[in-house]
Amino acid sequence: MATTYDAMPKHHKATHDEKLVITASSLGTVFEWYDFYLYGLLATFISKVFFAGVNETTGFILALGAFAAGFAVRPFGALVFGRVGDLVGRKYTFLVTMALMGLSTFAVGLLPGYDTIGIASPIILVALRIVQGLALGGEYGGAATYVAEHAPNNRRGLYTSFIQITATFGLFAALLIVLGVRTGMGEDMFAGWGWRVPFLLSAVLLAVSMWIRLQLNESPVYQKMKDEGTTSKSPIKDSFGKWGNLKFVLIALFGAVAGQAVVWYTGQFYAMFYLEKILKVDGATTNYLIAIALALGTPFFVFFGWLSDRIGRKYLILGGCALGALTYFPAFHALSDAANPALARASQTAPVVVTANDAECSFQFDPIGKNKFDASSCDIAKAFLAKSGINYTNAQAPSGTLASVSIGGQTLTAPNPAEVTGEDRAAAIKAYQERIKTTLAEAGYPAKADPAQIDTVTVVAILFYLVILVTMVYGPIAAMLVELFPSNIRYTSMSLPYHLGNGWFGGFLPTTAFAMVAATGDIYYGLWYPVVVAVATVVIGLLFLPETFRRNIDA
């Protein structure tokens, strides 16, 4: 295990080589995150183009599922490229991962939609996302390890925080480009084909990124190991086949990274999807609000990285997780009130209640698009509400009772599918949905958020708070992971828990949370996912996670 270091001079200044390492590694990683996040930003358009064969709600959740597919394979990319990085070096490994990422992103911009090539379209899309996920699985560990191995021991948190900032910068760059193209083209043209332009621009970013990375030399720590013949011959076995190291992989995953991941994706992705899909704020306005909050919050990645060099990594990370668990519910309630006050007001004055027998209700999510949700009166009642993102509560009814939707003082009984079939059933369902839509409008439920009523200052303040939590947990995490593991297996050992946490616990968060909302009708129910994971991380971290900020990783 790494030894502790003696304090170095407090006023160490970064050398020219150190600045080049930080700049080149960070800029290259920014472009890679840009590629990866474009998909999440454009999920609404992607669901319409590539998942046109299913209903709108299922299509959006499937689009988020394809987004999550890129995260699902990240741990496998960590194993493949982490092993290569420990065997042949840091530099050339993340050149390969960058090329794979850029080419896959460019290909999404050219991929024909469902209407053109049918089911092959979403299949190819998912395949490209998988390639992206594999590449990103190898990228992060390489960049973080590379920078950390160049950093002075007492400034490792500060130096690696510039790698941590790249994910937000990548998202920010993607937001700006999407907004620029969207504004320049107009909504109609952007929805038709303009959404492809940001993907195609990745070819330019790829060329710039590759040129930047080619200017770098190998990490001095790795070069020293290579010269002395002390590199690992079997990094995967040494990382995960020996309990002495494996236990720290598990502690890192469950006692730090899992909580960090859900805090990150709640603050930067779930909040964005929540504004657009649940609160019905238009996409362009949502992007502007998120971009402002990110611009205000991004410097705090560096601040918390710097702070972790002085007070330690552990309690900053666990503190951010604890704050998230304690405040997510009130924060998102406040976000609803500020972003769509008419919707929040209607939910209070005219609450929606679905009265039905639970046994006759389907789970309101169909991953293969075959369920039309018309086989029971309960499905008919809930399907439209789920599609519309309307918050409702459930009331139990005796078996055989026709489901009904109560909006304020009005009760609308759903059609009985046993009495109508074929075109008559479809017509009856359509008429019922129109009645619900009209009644909702009469009760004050808006079809979309009114831009004039959005409390922009409050919305940005809430989003800024969520981003601060992200910076608190994410700023120090790279330094901590690097410090937990020995040099000869560092790339492999740190990459797997990072990508299991961020790829699975974090990457699946939007899909899982929205499926939870669709299943229950409670627009806040999805928040239980990050809250439970964050609480578990705090408990496990307090019990088992060591403090690492005084370790000498060169030893």
Question: pLDDT tens digits for 359-387?
Answer: 877 766 555 445 566 778 888 888 888 77
Q: Give the pLDDT confidence of 434-454 residue by residue, as tens digits.
A: 999 999 999 999 988 999 999
Task: Provide the pLDDT confidence category of residue 526 given band limits of 50, 70 and 90.
Answer: very high
The pLDDT assigned to 372 comes to 67
Q: What are phi and psi of 305, to 5 degrees?
A: -65, -45
Q: Measured in whole angstroms, how far is the alpha carbon of residue 10 from the centre of its chain? A: 37
Strand partners, 394: 354
* Residue 310, both tokens: 């002085």
- Tell me what the mean pLDDT of segment 128-137 comes to: 84
The pLDDT assigned to 295 comes to 86
| SS3 label, residue 43 | helix
Out of 93-102, 168-177, 316-325, 355-364, the most confident range is: 316-325
- Tell me what the mean pLDDT of segment 398-422 comes to: 86
DSSP secondary structure letters along 317-345: HHHHHHHHHHHHHHHHHHHHHHH-HHHHH
Q: Give the pLDDT confidence of 232-244 residue by residue, as tens digits.
A: 778 888 888 889 8
Q: Give the pLDDT confidence of 61-73 residue by residue, as tens digits.
A: 677 677 667 777 8
Judged against a pLDDT cut of 60, whether residue 206 lies above it is answered with yes
Instruction: Collect all residues with Cβ–Cβ distance below 8 Å to 15 and sequence separation of at least 6.
Output: none
- Tell me what the mean pLDDT of segment 529-546 comes to: 97
Instruction: Collect all residues with Cβ–Cβ distance below 8 Å to 261 and sequence separation of at least 6.
Output: 501, 502, 505, 506, 507, 509, 533
- Tell me what the mean pLDDT of segment 399-417 comes to: 88
Burial class (CB in 10 A: 0-12, 13-18, 19+), 400: exposed
Measured from the Cβ of residue 228, the count of other Cβ atoms closer than 10 Å reads 8
To the nearest whole percent, how much of the chain has pLDDT over 70?
Answer: 90
To the nearest whole percent, how much of the chain has pLDDT over 90?
Answer: 32
Average per-residue pLDDT for the chain: 84
CA distance 83 to 339: 46
Name the helix (H) or strand (E) containing 400: none
Q: What is the DSSP letter of 112?
A: -
The pLDDT assigned to 555 comes to 53
| SS3 label, residue 133 | helix
The pLDDT assigned to 118 comes to 82
The pLDDT assigned to 464 comes to 97
CA distances, 498 to each of 139, 140, 144, 453, 479 (Å): 11, 9, 11, 41, 12
* Residue 232, both tokens: 């690992």
Q: Measured in whole angstroms, how far is the alpha carbon of residue 206 from the centre of its chain? A: 22
With left for phi above 0 and alpha for psi between -120 and 50, is residue 41 left, alpha or beta? alpha
The pLDDT assigned to 340 comes to 94
Taking alpha carbons only, the member of 427, 489, 506, 520 closest to residue 235 is 489
Task: Provide the pLDDT confidence category of residue 253 given band limits of 50, 70 and 90.
Answer: very high
- Tell me what the mean pLDDT of segment 198-223 comes to: 79
Task: Provide the pLDDT confidence category of residue 479 given band limits of 50, 70 and 90.
Answer: very high
* Residue 500, both tokens: 């299991």
CA distances, 341 to each of 85, 89, 220, 488 (Å): 51, 54, 56, 55
- Tell me what the mean pLDDT of segment 528-539 comes to: 97
Q: Give the pLDDT confidence of 175-191 residue by residue, as tens digits.
A: 888 889 988 888 889 98
Measured from the Cβ of residue 53, the count of other Cβ atoms closer than 10 Å reads 17
- Tell me what the mean pLDDT of segment 90-106 comes to: 81
Out of 143-157, 340-354, 479-493, the most confident range is: 340-354
Judged against a pLDDT cut of 50, whether residue 74 lies above it is answered with yes
Q: Give the pLDDT confidence of 320-357 residue by residue, as tens digits.
A: 999 999 999 999 999 999 999 999 999 999 999 999 88
Task: Provide the pLDDT confidence category of residue 12 given band limits of 50, 70 and 90.
Answer: low
CA distance 488 to 466: 37
Judged against a pLDDT cut of 80, whether residue 219 lies above it is answered with no
The pLDDT assigned to 335 comes to 96
Judged against a pLDDT cut of 70, whether residue 48 lies above it is answered with yes
Taking alpha carbons only, the member of 31, 68, 71, 23 closest to residue 201 is 31
Task: Provide the pLDDT confidence category of residue 57 given band limits of 50, 70 and 90.
Answer: low
pTM of the full predicted structure?
A: 0.82
Taking alpha carbons only, the member of 302, 376, 390, 308 closest to residue 343 is 390
Judged against a pLDDT cut of 90, whether residue 248 lies above it is answered with yes
Taking alpha carbons only, the member of 258, 308, 311 closest to residue 479 is 308
Task: Provide the pLDDT confidence category of residue 483 given band limits of 50, 70 and 90.
Answer: very high
CA distance 542 to 549: 16
Burial class (CB in 10 A: 0-12, 13-18, 19+), 348: exposed
Taking alpha carbons only, the member of 14, 482, 82, 32 closest to residue 212 is 32
Q: Measured in whole angstroms, how far is the alpha carbon of residue 51 from the centre of its chain? A: 20
- Tell me what the mean pLDDT of segment 461-490 comes to: 92
The pLDDT assigned to 9 comes to 45
3-state SS record for 46-63: HHHHHCCCCCHHHHHHHH
The pLDDT assigned to 7 comes to 45
| SS3 label, residue 432 | helix
Judged against a pLDDT cut of 50, whether residue 11 lies above it is answered with no
CA distances, 485 to each of 80, 155, 169, 236, 475 (Å): 18, 18, 27, 13, 18
CA distance 148 to 553: 9
- Tell me what the mean pLDDT of segment 114-124 comes to: 84
